[in-house]
Amino acid sequence: MLKEVIDRGNLPDRILPIYDHWTGLIRNGQLPEIGDFSARALKQAMAHSVLTEVVHGEDDSVQDFVFRLIGSFIAERMPQVYVGEHLSSLPGKGPGSQIWSAYEATATSGLPRLVTLPYVSSIGGHSRSDEVFLPLAKTGEARVGYILVGISLD
């Protein structure tokens, strides 16, 4: 059964609305579905978010993650637009990396997680990121099909 496992007092203000919206979508302990999520309800908070689709293998194992949406604040700080790209294709972001581990743990557990990661980009100005990983099911499915990440850069 899905339950709130993150102390919302530990979340940066920029990503708190994303987390609160996600927790509001939990019904009967079930994973929220992508169709329940409303980017319109979040307005400016969406600028600090990334949505990835989980790629599952035939055996239901997690194979990769594909960027589907990147908020404007985050996109402006990336050296290129990664929409449609696989996480495994990005140097230093594939299996074994900290970011991969956070995505994989969220996809396999179905539970949200809050992680602090070093900020690695050719565009400077930040040293770390606080990121909340929020699992979403594909419509009509129970497994994690998407992961919404709220990102606060410091």
DSSP 31: P
pTM value is 0.91
Please check the confidence at residue 1 and state whether its pLDDT lies above 50.
Answer: no
**Fold assignment, 10-30+46-153:** Beta-Lactamase (3.30.450)
112-154, pLDDT tens digit by residue?
A: 999 988 766 655 665 678 899 999 999 999 899 999 999 988 7
The domains of the chain are located at 10-30+46-153
Provide the CA 5 distance to its chain's centre, in angstroms. Answer: 16
**In this structure, are strands 113-118 and 128-137 parallel, antiparallel, or unpaired?**
antiparallel
d(CA 111, CA 134) in angstroms, rounded, equals 7
DSSP class of residue 10?
G
Higher pLDDT pick, 8 / 103: 103
pLDDT in tens, 11-23: 988 899 999 999 9
Mean of the pLDDT values across residues 99-123?
86
The whole-number average pLDDT for the span 76-97 is: 90
